[in-house]
Amino acid sequence: MEPILIILCVVVGGLLASLGAHLLPVGGAPAAMGTATGIATGTVQIMLGAAMTGLFTAASAATFTDSLLLVALSGAIGATVMICVVMLMANILYTFGCGIVPVSGRVDVDPLTKEPQAPYKTPQTDGHGVPNVVYVSGMLGGFVGGFGGALMYFALLNYADFTAGTAAIGALSIFVPNAIIAAYNIRGTIEGFHDPKFKRLPFAMVTSLVVSLLCGILVVIASYLTVGGTM
Amino acid sequence: MGLIVVLLFAWMLVIAFLAFLACTFEDLESDMGSQSNPNSQVQLAAQIGQVNRFFNKAISGEPLSNAMYCATAGTIAWLLLLKLEPLVPGEEWKAAVLAIPIGVAVAAAINIIFSMTAHCGRTAAQKRFEQPIYLDVLYGHLLPIATHAFMTTFFITCIAYIQCNLGTLSGNPALNHPFALPLLGFIWGITVGAIGSSTGDVHYGAEREFQDRPFGEGKRVVYHGKITRYAECGVRTQRDIAGFCAKFGGPITGMTFGLIILFENWRSLVGMQLGGYLPNLAASAGNSAVTWAIVMGLIIVIALAVVNYVFVRWVRKKCGPFVGV
């Protein structure tokens, strides 16, 4: 039981979860109609889906390594693989299923590839599909979010002496409020780091810090109450 | 019996195949009940005077509802396994053959209850817009929805069962996943829902719901709510939609989940093999196994990013700028 380490890991994990959710290209319901750029679902849902995939791999890795960094990186890569496949397949579906070209609605020129965006956009929409800059932002979001989730899992498993199942549920329970805070901050849709809404990030980070700190203290109390790793 | 590495890889491929089927049916289930994001249009349609015969069941976000079904099925199957496995020592698979379908059937029954209450509640709330509750629509969709949900939950529970017992099935119980069956069901329920919601819904929402609008453009805000209410023959219900989406949206969604499961398990196993962890589970090789798995994952991620870059460039060149009005 190492209270400082537990709180530190939970706070860092929570902040990373919130940051990751801001980086993901969330299109929400409008994206399902090709009316907005990004992945056609809510912030919490896609972040949770990615983090859960990462957590599955991280839990496997934690059975045969004691390294915090390796377990957290396993989770990060797991989440990144998940989000990358989803974004690629969404593009294939938009293109071949609906005849829609991936285009960003927030910038006129792709900041990374310098491809023009505005001429390809359907009028009265906010972009559609997952263009290259959005894809890169999504990759970073998946990596950061997955890293945060796996970090919390490792702290709960090894520092708070929870069993694997309880540590997973605990990490998930701290992850969700942080993703929800990000969702409130995003208010609907966001394309990634190039989106003007990304500038609101500091507000979410402060809130996440407070929430994660409280969660960390709660984990320490729970760990004290169940000394011996019975939880 | 020692660990047989080939068996590990074989089971991984079985899991990936089951994942493909699970997500295909998950997408079709959400299309059949109009559960996820495109449901906003079904809701809006009645509000702007477009009375329709669509089934409207927004139980919750797909990840959460699927996690509920899969965790329920997993819990019941797990409890039955605890009771039944001691009755057939040495032949535990017999217990699974009975326990998993029973657990999944209970989850499907819960799905029917939620579908019915969600549809009736949502549609009753639209009385002021004169949207009736068509009883034939209600009765006619419950069974197809429950059947699709049964298939999804069944495949996910099978995946969770195999992963729980992966080591035992391959010859060394130390390789069983540390999570219990219900928790694995919960995790894959969340993931399958997240993928079904984010990938497959596009085919329903952006194409089938607005099929009388021009093909090849994002659906403009002025179209919202004005969904296609007439089918190839007669008035459109959700049963016409599942058949359409099964031709493209469903399989693509299934492939997404299948690829994710394949990549994740494959890179872990290849990492174990390259790191020298298999077949003797040498504890000293643990770190190198994870490192190799991370390196393999990085290669996969970079390859996917390159494929997307090439694909986006190709499609923009092929289709060209927007030429409509």
The residue of chain B with its CA nearest to that of A137 is B305
Specify if B244 maps to a domain.
yes
Structural Rg of chain A based on CA atoms? 18
Nearest one of B262, B287, B289 to B274, comparing CA atoms: B289
pTM higher than 0.90: yes
What are the structural domain ranges in chain A?
A: 3-225
**Could you give the 3-state DSSP secondary structure of residue A24?**
coil
Q: What is the pLDDT of residues A94-130, one digit of tens each?
A: 999 999 999 999 999 999 999 999 999 999 999 999 9
- CA angle, residues A210, A146, A202, in degrees to nearest 5: 35
Specify if B154 maps to a domain.
yes
A229 lies within 8 A of chain B by CB? no
Tokens of B192: 């399958």
Q: Residues B262-271, buried b or exposed e (16+ Cβ, 10 A)?
A: bbbbbbbbbb
Specify if B234 maps to a domain.
yes
DSSP state of B127: G
Residue B279 buriedness (CB in 10 A; 0-12 / 13-18 / 19+): middle
Phi/psi for A92 (5° steps) reads -60, -40
CB–CB of A88 and B260 under 8 A? no
Specify if B306 maps to a domain.
no
Which of A35, A43, A45, A80 is most worth mutating to test chain B (most B CB atoms within 10 A of its CB)? A45
In whole angstroms, how far apart are CA B107 and each of B80, B190, B269? 14, 15, 32
Specify if B274 maps to a domain.
no
Specify if B318 maps to a domain.
no
pLDDT of residue B276: 85
pLDDT of residue A209: 96
Q: What is the pLDDT of residues B101-155, one digit of tens each?
A: 999 999 999 999 999 999 999 999 999 999 999 999 999 999 999 999 999 999 9
**Kind of pairing, strands A103-104 and A127-128?**
antiparallel
CB–CB of B206 and A88 under 8 A? no
Chain A residues with beta carbon closer than 8 angstroms to that of B300:
81, 84
Position B2 confidence tier, pLDDT thresholds 50, 70, 90: low
Q: What is the pLDDT of residues B209-250, one digit of tens each?
A: 999 998 888 999 999 999 999 988 899 999 899 999 999 999
HSE-CB of B77 using CA atoms within 13 angstroms? 36
The residue of chain B with its CA nearest to that of A102 is B312
Q: Is the pLDDT of residue A158 over 80?
A: yes
CB–CB of B277 and A64 under 8 A? yes
> Using an 8 Å Cβ cutoff, are B304 and B256 in contact?
no
Question: For chain B, what percent of residues have pLDDT higher than 70?
Answer: 99
Question: For chain B, what percent of residues have pLDDT higher than 90?
Answer: 78
pLDDT of residue B102: 97
Give the minimum alpha-carbon distance from A192 to chain B in angstroms, rounded to a whole number.
Answer: 16
Nearest one of B174, B319, B297, B199 to B251, comparing CA atoms: B199
Considering only the beta carbons, identify the residue of B37, B187, B199 that sits closest to A52: B187
Cα–Cα distance measured from residue A213 to residue B25, given in angstroms and rounded to the nearest whole number: 41
Judged by phi (left if over 0) then psi (alpha if -120 to 50, else beta), residue B180 lies in: beta
pLDDT of residue A227: 59
> Using an 8 Å Cβ cutoff, are A118 and A108 in contact?
yes
CB–CB of B277 and A132 under 8 A? no
CB–CB of A100 and B218 under 8 A? yes
Chain A residues with beta carbon closer than 8 angstroms to that of B298:
77
Q: B239 is in which domain, residue-wise?
A: 5-259
Cα–Cα distance measured from residue A105 to residue A25, given in angstroms and rounded to the nearest whole number: 12
CB–CB of A32 and B205 under 8 A? yes
What was the ipTM of the complex prediction?
Answer: 0.94
**B272 Cβ contact partners less than 8 Å away, ≥ 6 residues apart:** B278, B289, B292, B293
Cα–Cα distance measured from residue A93 to residue B206, given in angstroms and rounded to the nearest whole number: 10
A138 lies within 8 A of chain B by CB? no
In whole angstroms, how far apart are CA B139 and each of B31, B116, B142, B269? 17, 9, 6, 47
CB–CB of B41 and A81 under 8 A? no
Q: What is the pLDDT of residues B27-52, one digit of tens each?
A: 999 999 888 889 999 999 999 999 99
Considering only the beta carbons, identify the residue of B209, B264, B290 that sits closest to A53: B264
pLDDT of residue B175: 85
Name A190's bridge partners: A26
Which of B211, B259, B264 is most worth mutating to test chain A (most A CB atoms within 10 A of its CB)? B264
Q: Is the pLDDT of residue A228 over 60?
A: no
Tokens of B258: 């299948």
**B113 Cβ contact partners less than 8 Å away, ≥ 6 residues apart:** none
Phi/psi for B237 (5° steps) reads -120, 180
